């Protein structure tokens, strides 16, 4: 961003910049989280695509997943149910799904807060800018045109910056919420498929 424009935006540009940095940090963190701990390799997805699953081959594939991967523990519970008497298997599967949901949702509330607060801060910048313009008008009887336009520029820049940050946070929040819901749905579908295949094997 051009520093001149930044300075023209007035005092609220500082807190708006902090909100922008926080939003970007959360977005990057969630993308890394998804890549490392949630996304399944293509060979596993392909194996799960059909209704009939090669169980032995499938569980060999899942052993290659990182132990920090949320699907690793999820699939391991189902695999262990073949050889161990796991009491309340359904409850344990739900626990794994809830654990993912809780961990993934961490800090998303901050994005929600930024969605609301960034435009309000921008609006505050508008008030400051317009107040400065009206003050100049009152003191100089419209003779200081540059001072008036500076105040108007401050109000517009702050408002625009606040809206841009809010839109970025909104798109990111909606995207991550959708991905979270999709992963939870996948867990339910994959779990039901695997348990059905284990019964028939």
Residue 56, class by beta-carbon neighbours within 10 Å (0-12 exposed, 13-18 middle, 19+ buried)? exposed
Distance, CA of 35 to CA of 55 (rounded, Å): 25
Site of tokens 């009939």: 52
pLDDT (mean) for 174-181: 95
What residue segments make up the domains of the chain, in order of their start? 9-200
Residue 142, class by beta-carbon neighbours within 10 Å (0-12 exposed, 13-18 middle, 19+ buried)? exposed
Q: What is the pLDDT of residues 157-173, one digit of tens each?
A: 788 888 999 999 999 99
Q: Comparing 50 with 114, which gets the higher pLDDT?
A: 114
Taking Cα atoms as reference points, which of 33, 173, 31, 175 lies closest to residue 114? 173
Taking Cα atoms as reference points, which of 109, 112, 155, 120 lies closest to residue 15? 120
pLDDT (mean) for 192-199: 82
Residue 129: alpha-carbon gap to chain centroid: 33
Taking Cα atoms as reference points, which of 181, 122, 149, 170 lies closest to residue 26? 170
Confidence (pTM): 0.79
């Amino acid at each position: 961003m051009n520093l001149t424009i930044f300075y023209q935006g007035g005092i609220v540009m500082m807190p708006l910049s902090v909100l922008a940095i926080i939003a970007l940090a959360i977005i990057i963190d969630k993308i890394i989280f998804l890549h490392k701990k949630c996304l399944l390799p293509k060979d596993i997805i392909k194996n799960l695509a059909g209704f009939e699953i090669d169980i032995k081959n499938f569980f060999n594939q899942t052993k290659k997943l990182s132990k920090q991967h949320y699907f690793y523990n999820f699939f391991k519970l189902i695999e262990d149910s073949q050889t161990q008497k796991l009491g309340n298997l359904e409850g344990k599967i739900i626990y794994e799904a809830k654990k993912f949901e809780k961990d993934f949702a961490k800090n998303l509330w901050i994005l929600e807060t930024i969605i609301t607060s960034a435009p309000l801060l921008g609006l505050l910048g508008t008030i400051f800018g317009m107040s400065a313009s009206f003050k100049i008008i009152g003191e100089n009887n419209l003779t200081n045109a540059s001072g008036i336009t500076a105040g108007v520029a401050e109000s517009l820049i702050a408002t625009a910056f606040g809206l841009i940050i809010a839109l970025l946070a909104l798109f990111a929040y909606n995207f991550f919420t959708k991905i979270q819901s999709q992963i939870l749905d996948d867990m339910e579908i994959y779990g039901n498929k695997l348990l059905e295949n284990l019964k028939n094997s």
